[in-house]
């Protein structure tokens, strides 16, 4: 039986150096390979041109680079690009390039499917098959950056973990991917340009505080009322607004990072001034800003987007209460690439 190849990107540099020592190869060779993997984003050992042919062959025989590939790319009328990424085991996840006047943003996935069942999100209607490895998240960023340069001649400026899956339920791999993306011997991007979005896992928000993370945190709130929130986000049974408020206070105390609340405004559900009052009250717990988001229709749910004047009145109320509030317009709707619309329809 053939020996299973080792996933080389699962090894940190000291471990890789140990492997090279066992292969009777000098430690500096391990450093070269590590640079190829993370700084130069090599997708195969054959690209590692400063290694001998013999060493490349040895690596090919014993190790694997589980490179992510673009299976399919769709282009929106507003220049958004949605990618179906094929993973080494045949699973597919989606990631999006969102170009605007001032930034190029990659929206990346952290799980194949999702274990949460948010009623307004297409991914929530899929089963969670597995977590993504750190290198699979990293690869999405690399591929979307290449796409931004190729199509718009502008490199990536921002990354949001808002694709398929709940990032905080894949905690270790998400944090390792961010470490590689921000490391000087990785992609060397700034923490301040990375946002991790959660549906609200209170104990993991506290862990972010304990770990002193430097990236931005966004919380998908969508209702500052436990009954309404539970109706659309069953996660709330163990993550009440009281539990979330405590976790967010703890997180802010540890990191001093303000929080962003994402709030989809649904027609005749959470779009009244009474809802805005509840949200303004919740905003007093920690320094924050609010993004009001359009609802993007999916085939499984019958929600509709709130009327424009309702959203404007909602925003005005929050601003009058001193809450920093933005109204976000959706991108990529025509190719199902907008917030909440990511779900794999294809299997091939």
Which sequence positions are flagged as catalytic?
94, 339
Alpha-carbon distance of 78 to 52, in angstroms, equals 46
Closest CA to 6 of 65, 58, 53, 92: 65
Q: How far apart are CA 11 and CA 134, in angstroms?
A: 11
Name residue, tokens 């890789």: 16
CA distance 158 to 250: 26
Tally the residues of the chain.
348
The values of phi and psi at residue 266, to 5°, are: -90, 140
Bin 272: left if φ > 0, else alpha if -120 < ψ < 50, else beta. beta
Say whether 249 sits in a helix, a strand or coil: helix
Instruction: Report residue 275 as tokens.
Output: 């809802």
Rounded CA-CA distance 348/7 in Å is: 24
For residues 267 and 270, give the distance between their C-alpha atoms in angstroms, rounded to a whole number: 7
Answer yes or no: are the C-beta atoms of 214 and 191 closer than 8 Å: yes
């Amino acid at each position: 039986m053939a020996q299973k190849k080792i996933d080389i990107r699962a090894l940190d540099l000291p471990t890789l150096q140990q492997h090279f020592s066992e292969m009777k190869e000098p430690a500096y060779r391990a450093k070269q390979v590590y640079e190829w993997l993370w700084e130069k984003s090599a997708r195969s050992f054959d690209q590692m041109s400063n290694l001998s042919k013999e060493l490349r062959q040895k690596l090919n025989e014993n190790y694997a680079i589980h490179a992510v590939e673009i299976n399919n790319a769709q282009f929106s009328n507003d220049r958004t690009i949605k990618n179906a990424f094929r993973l080494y085991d045949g699973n597919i996840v989606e990631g999006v390039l969102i170009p605007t006047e001032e930034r190029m943003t990659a929206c990346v996935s952290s799980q194949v499917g999702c274990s949460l069942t948010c009623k307004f999100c297409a991914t929530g209607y899929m089963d969670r098959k597995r977590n993504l490895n750190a290198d699979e998240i990293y690869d999405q960023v690399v591929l979307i950056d290449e796409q931004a340069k190729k199509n718009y001649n502008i490199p990536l400026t921002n990354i949001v973990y808002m694709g398929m899956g709940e990032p905080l339920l894949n905690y270790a791999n998400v944090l390792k991917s961010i470490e590689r993306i921000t490391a000087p011997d990785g992609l060397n991007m700034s923490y301040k340009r990375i946002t991790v979005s959660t549906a609200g896992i209170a104990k993991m928000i506290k862990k972010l505080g304990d770990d002193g993370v430097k990236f931005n945190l966004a919380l998908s709130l969508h209702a500052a009322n436990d009954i309404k929130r539970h109706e659309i986000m069953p996660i709330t049974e163990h993550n009440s607004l009281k539990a979330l408020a405590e976790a967010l206070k703890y997180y802010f105390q540890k990191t001093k990072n303000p929080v962003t609340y994402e709030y989809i405004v649904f027609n005749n559900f959470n779009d009244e001034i009474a809802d805005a009052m509840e949200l303004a009250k919740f905003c007093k717990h920690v320094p924050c800003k609010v993004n009001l988001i359009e609802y993007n229709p999916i085939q499984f749910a019958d929600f509709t987007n709130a009327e424009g004047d309702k959203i404007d009145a909602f925003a005005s109320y929050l601003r009058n209460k001193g809450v920093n509030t933005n109204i976000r317009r959706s991108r990529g709707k025509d190719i199902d690439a907008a917030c909440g619309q990511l779900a794999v329809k294809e299997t091939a």
